Amino acid sequence: MAEGDTILRAKHRLADALVGQSIAVATPNPRGRAAGVERLDGRTLEGIDAHGKHLLFDFGDLVLHSHLGMSGGWHVYPRAARWRRPRSSAWVVLGGERQDAVQFGGPTLRVLPASRVAIDPQLARLGPDILAPDLDLDAVVASFRAADQSRTLGDALLDQRLTAGIGNIFKSEACFGARVDPWRPLSQVTDEELRTVLDQARAQMLNAVKAGGRHRFAVYKHRGPCGRCRGPVRHRGQGDANRTTWWCERCQV
């Protein structure tokens, strides 16, 4: 699953390869044609924005919106390089001067007028990006406080309306870093604890961006005892979507 850190790295890679260039668009898979992505052919890519798990490609008065979900991915290839997935599964190819950016799979690929981005139902309801340079942590804490306080912390951290970008990995890692039990209902998590958990998520994800994805996890998919206390690391599905949470019962209370 691509979380905010993966998307931010993809943004940097894609921007280096394509921004400021006139883009040749191809849609080898019918899914890309259905999205009408060809309308962008020949336009100049002005910039790329990341918001949580969403990428927005600025083509002037049109925007390409991409979300990778569980299995999608953006690859960047030098022209004529061999791709790691079959061409027929490429939803869209954005061809720059020397490199091609290819989106394979993902739940969202669509073109919308730039004027609609601010009022688009899917985008407008997103909470503040946990990796935004000017993130107002107090505002994020306030939005968690305004949510249903019977929800568990681990479940609420995945709610992209409260804050955008945290997924299953950093939900687990942030709670471990803050030593807070992800199974506590929000009503039993103090503002200070909430702030520490969100701070941990942000700091760890920014580290992962810097490390280029080579990031070691403390509890996520961890085998063997906890590296801090040698207690057992547990995992169990959490929330309505039953997304797996990893935690140390002894360190996290």
Residues recorded for the chain: 253
Q: Which is nearer to Zn ion, 141 or 251 (CB)?
A: 251
- Judge whether 207 and 190 are in contact, CB under 8 Å: no
- Judge whether 247 and 181 are in contact, CB under 8 Å: yes
Beta carbons within 10 angstroms of residue 212's beta carbon: 10
Q: Which is nearer to Zn ion, 74 or 247 (CB)?
A: 247
**Residue 235, interface with Zn ion (CB under 5 A)?**
no
* CB of 250 vs Zn ion, minimal distance in Å: 5
Given 228, 234, 235, 243, the residue binding Zn ion (CB under 5 A)? 228
Given 101, 226, 245, 246, the residue binding Zn ion (CB under 5 A)? 226
**Residue 225, interface with Zn ion (CB under 5 A)?**
no
**Residue 248, interface with Zn ion (CB under 5 A)?**
yes
Beta carbons within 10 angstroms of residue 202's beta carbon: 24
The contacts of residue 202 (CB under 8 Å, 6+ apart) are: 130, 131, 135
- Judge whether 197 and 184 are in contact, CB under 8 Å: no
**Residue 43, interface with Zn ion (CB under 5 A)?**
no
Given 124, 229, 236, 242, the residue binding Zn ion (CB under 5 A)? 229
**Residue 231, interface with Zn ion (CB under 5 A)?**
yes
Site residues (vs Zn ion, CB under 5 A): 226, 228-229, 231, 248, 250-251
